[in-house]
Amino acid sequence: MNKNYNFAIYSNDQAGILNRITAVFSRVNLNIEALSVCESEQNGVFRHSVQVHCDHATAFRLSKQLERQIEVIRAAFQADDEMIQQEVALYKIASKSMLEQTLTEQIIHRHHARVLSMNSQFTVIEKTGQRHESQALFDDLSVVGVLEFVRSGPVSISKPMNAEAMSHDMSVFKQNATCDADHQVDV
C-alpha cells in the first residue's frame, strides 16, 4: 500500500551528496514530495529529510540503497502516522484588505495565524501547523486575495515510542542496522 514515507538521511558534509541522495529516488521514478536539509544534532553531520509516496517494500529497498552511498551514515524511514510533523506557511496579502475589511482579521484570528510583517502595501501572515491547516487558511484568505503563498513542506520528527526504530546513535554502523537480524528462521 502506498503512503507517505519520511526518510531521515544522515550524511557527511560533502559537495554533491544531495544529488547522490536524490538520484536514488529519481532512479525508480519517484517524485520527492518534500525535502529539507539542515545540520543535525551532531556537528558536521547533515540531516536530509525526504518525503516520498511509495510502498513499504520500495521504501525499505531505497533505505538500503541510500546507506550504500559512502557518505551516507544512516538512512531511516517512517510512515506519516509514525511521525510528528509541522510546516510553516507564509501568505502575502494586500495591506488595504487588512485595513478595509474586518473579515481578514477574523480569518487570521480564527486560524491562530499571526502577522509577521506589515507595511503600507502588503502584509505577510505566518501559519505554523499541519498541511490541512495551512491549506484551510489559504482557502479562506483566497476570498480577500492572496498575492503570494509559500509553505516549507513538513519537517518531521519521530514519535517518542519509535525512538529505537529511528536510532540517532551515529556510533551504530549503518550496515549492522537491520539486514542480518531482520530475517531469521527458526531452525
| Residue 168 interacts with another protein (CB under 8 A): yes or no | no
Q: What is the C-alpha to C-alpha distance for residues 56 and 78, in angstroms, rounded to an integer?
A: 9
Stretch that binds another protein, among 6-14, 89-97, 123-131, 151-159 (CB under 8 A): 6-14
**In the complex, least distance from residue 72 CB atom to another protein, rounded to whole angstroms:** 7
Stretch that binds another protein, among 7-15, 93-101, 121-129, 152-160 (CB under 8 A): 7-15
| Residue 160 interacts with another protein (CB under 8 A): yes or no | no
Task: Give the single-character DSSP code of 31.
Answer: P
Measured from the CB atom, is 31 or 184 closer to another protein? 184
Q: What is the C-alpha to C-alpha distance for residues 153 and 19, in angstroms, rounded to an integer?
A: 19
Strand partners, 102: none
Binder to another protein among 6, 11, 51, 104 (CB under 8 A)? 11
User: Under DSSP, is residue 37 helix (H, G, I), strand (E, B) or coil?
Assistant: strand
Residues in the chain: 187
- Is 51:35 a contact under the CB 8 Å cutoff? yes
Tally of CB atoms within 10 A around 109: 10
User: Under DSSP, is residue 65 helix (H, G, I), strand (E, B) or coil?
Assistant: helix
| Residue 176 interacts with another protein (CB under 8 A): yes or no | yes
Measured from the CB atom, is 30 or 141 closer to another protein? 30
Chain positions 56 to 95 lying near another protein, rule: CB under 8 A, are 60-61, 64-65, 67-68, 70-73
Find where cell 550524511 sits. 11
Q: Which residues bind another protein (CB under 8 A)?
A: 11-16, 19-20, 23, 27, 44, 60-61, 64-65, 67-68, 70-73, 173-177, 179-185, 187
